[in-house]
Amino acid sequence: MTHIALIGLPGSGKTTIGRQLARRLGLPFVDTDEAIEQELGCSIRDFFEAEGEVAFRDVESRVLHRLTEGPPCLLSTGGGIVLRPENRQRLREACRVVYLRASANDLFRRLRHDQKRPLLQVADPLERLKALEAERGPLYRETAHFTVDAGRSHLHQVVNKLAAQIELEGGAPEP
Ligand SMILES: Nc1ncnc2c1ncn2[C@@H]1O[C@H](COP(=O)(O)OP(=O)(O)O)[C@@H](O)[C@H]1O
Ligand SMILES: O=C(O)C1=C[C@@H](OP(=O)(O)O)[C@@H](O)[C@H](O)C1
Ligand SMILES: [Mg+2]
């Protein structure tokens, strides 16, 4: 196992916390969504609109496999990465997987004005977040090696908690 991966619903802080935690642990930071946008040469929202979700999930799986074959890094994922069984298996075998748990209500407060996330561009984003929570909660729990509460805690508290937990487990992988 060589990587550390963050999973969780949109807005749970995977990208923001991942970047800070990587710096703290001295690991390279990679975000699957940023890697996908680089590969596609356009935004995820535009790609979703033009090609649809299945095409996006195909690219996402390919990028996950490529990144987890590379050198150790702190990997922040997109919220839907756990939907495919082969991604869940790949994450568990290649990474120490952390679930950033936060409720739909907390996430709605953060994301109600978001325009980047295609799945939340609907009339009732809170209902959508609740549906995502119901569908994906069990998948996040099944995939994670450990869970941290990221809904009500401050960013720096979540980073501190994760850094301490990783230290406790023998420290970060050598980059
Ligand atoms: N624990 C937190 N407390 C307050 N705001 C947060 C927290 N975690 C993330 N945020 C904010 O929520 C927004 C979404 O965070 P982001 O890292 O993009 O989430 P994700 O990558 O999981 O979708 C950002 O504006 C970020 O600063
Ligand atoms: O939940 C999802 O299915 C998605 C979450 C997004 O990433 P974040 O979780 O970083 O918002 C991004 O991968 C895409 O818009 C799809
Ligand atoms: Mg993100």
Cα separation values, 92 from 57, 64, 98, 109, 146, Å: 18, 12, 10, 30, 11
Q: Which residues of 35-74 are buried (b: 16+ CB within 10 A; e: fewer)?
A: bbbeebeeebeebbeeeeeeebbebbbebbeebbeeebbb
Ligand 3 centroid, distance to 4 Cα (angstroms)? 15
By CB atoms closer than 10 A (0-12, 13-18, 19+), residue 110 is: middle
pLDDT tens for each residue of the chain, 175 residues long: 589 999 999 999 999 999 999 999 999 999 999 999 999 999 999 999 999 999 999 999 999 999 999 999 999 999 999 999 999 999 999 999 999 999 999 999 999 999 999 999 999 999 999 999 999 999 999 999 999 999 999 999 999 999 999 999 888 888 7
Regarding pTM above 0.95, the answer is yes
Fold adopted by 3-163: Rossmann fold (3.40.50)
Complex prediction ipTM? 0.99
Ligand 2 pocket, Cβ-based, cut-off 6 angstroms: 10, 14-15, 33, 44, 78-80, 117-119
